[in-house]
A and B are shown apart, each in its own frame.
Chain A
Amino acid sequence: MSTSLRCLLDKAAARRIMKALLKLASAQELTAEEIHALGLYERAGLQGMRLFIVPPTDNVLKRLASFAAYAPLIAFFRSRTETIVPARYFKRWARRLRDHGFTREDAAVLALGTFGTSRDASVLGAHFVATFDQPMINHWRMQQAPIQKRLAAMRLHLRPSYRAAALPQVRRPEHIPEESLSGIQRLHEDAASYEA
C-alpha cells in the first residue's frame, strides 16, 4: 500500500468532490469542475491511488458528520481518503516557499506535499497536489528550478529519513495522469521537459 501513488487534495478540490457527492445525493446537476474532481476521486479508488485531505477539510467533514443525514455520505467520502499530517521540517519548508511568492495557505499545502505524512508516519510527501488554482499551478511551474535547488540544499542537512523528500507535481484534478508508478518515476527525472 505504501508504494501506491499519493495525491493531496487542496481544500477547494476536496470541497468540490464533497459538493459533487451532495449533489448526486440530492439529484442536482454537477458543474464541470465538480465532475473533474469527482473523476479523480473515482480514478483513485479504481487505481489504488491514496487520496489525502488537509486537516482543515477533515475538521469541516467532522462537523458535517454530526448531522445524521450526512453521516453516511461523509463515511463514504472518508472511506477513500486519509488526512495528511505535517511531518518534521514542514514549517521550515513552508516558510521557504513563502519566500518564493506563495501565500501562507498555498505554501502550507505545497509544503505538505513534500513534508506531509500519513497517520502511521510510513510515507513522506505526495506525488501530486490536486488544485483548481491555476495561478498557483503556473507559479509553481515558473519557480521549479529555484525551488528544486533550495530543496536539494536543504536535504543535505536533514535527518536520513527525510533526505529523499521530493517536490509534488501540482495539477488540476483532470490532469492527474493515469500512469503507473514507473511512469511517475520517469516523470520526476525529466520533470522539466514534461512541464514545458
Chain B
Amino acid sequence: MEARLALPVSIEQVAVVIKQMSRSDRERLLDLVPDLRQMSLHAPRAQEDKELAMVERMHGEVSRALGGQLLSLSEPFLGDLTLGQYLELPEEECGRLWDAWAEIDLEELEELDVHLAAVPAR
C-alpha cells in the first residue's frame, strides 16, 4: 500500500520539473500516473462544454441588456460601415480602424498623482 505523502513544493514547481523532463521520462510519468492520460483525453471536451455554457450565459445577459431585441447586421456602424461589414473584417483591419477612431496618443495624456495610500498591485 502506498504511503500518502504531502507535496513539499507547489504545483507550479512540479510543472517546471515536468517541463524539463525528457520525452521518455514524461511517458514513464504517464505510466505511473495513468489518471493524467485519461484526464488529458477528456479535457478538450470539458473545456468546450464550459465555453459553450459561458457563451450561453453571456448571450442571456446581452439579450436582457438589449431588451430582447437583436441588432440588425444592416445597422450603421462607425466609419460608414454597417455592423455586418464591420463584423466580417479581419482582426488586423479592425485594429487599424480602432486606432484611427481612437484619435488619442497615450503619452500625451496628463499624469495623475495617486493618493498616499494608493493600493499597489502586489
Contact = CB atoms under 8 A, between A and B. Distances in A.
Q: Do A and B originate from a single complex?
A: yes
A124 B114 contact: yes
Of B86, B95, B121, which is in contact with the most chain A CB atoms at under 10 Å from its CB? B121
A145 interface: no
Of B86, B115, B120, which is in contact with the most chain A CB atoms at under 10 Å from its CB? B120
A170 interface: no
A171 to B, nearest CB: 14
Interface residues on B, range: 35 or more
A85 B76 CA distance: 31
Interface in B70-122: 70-73, 75-78, 83-84, 86-87, 91, 94-95, 98-99, 101-104, 106-107, 109-122
A127 to B, nearest CB: 5
A35 B71 contact: no
B19 interface: yes
A151 to B, nearest CB: 12
Contacts of A21: 58, 62
Contacts of B26: none
B61 interface: yes
Contacts of A20: 58
A59 B109 CA distance: 13
A23 B83 CA distance: 9
Interface of B: 10, 12-13, 16, 19, 51, 54-55, 57-59, 61-63, 65-67, 70-73, 75-78, 83-84, 86-87, 91, 94-95, 98-99, 101-104, 106-107, 109-122
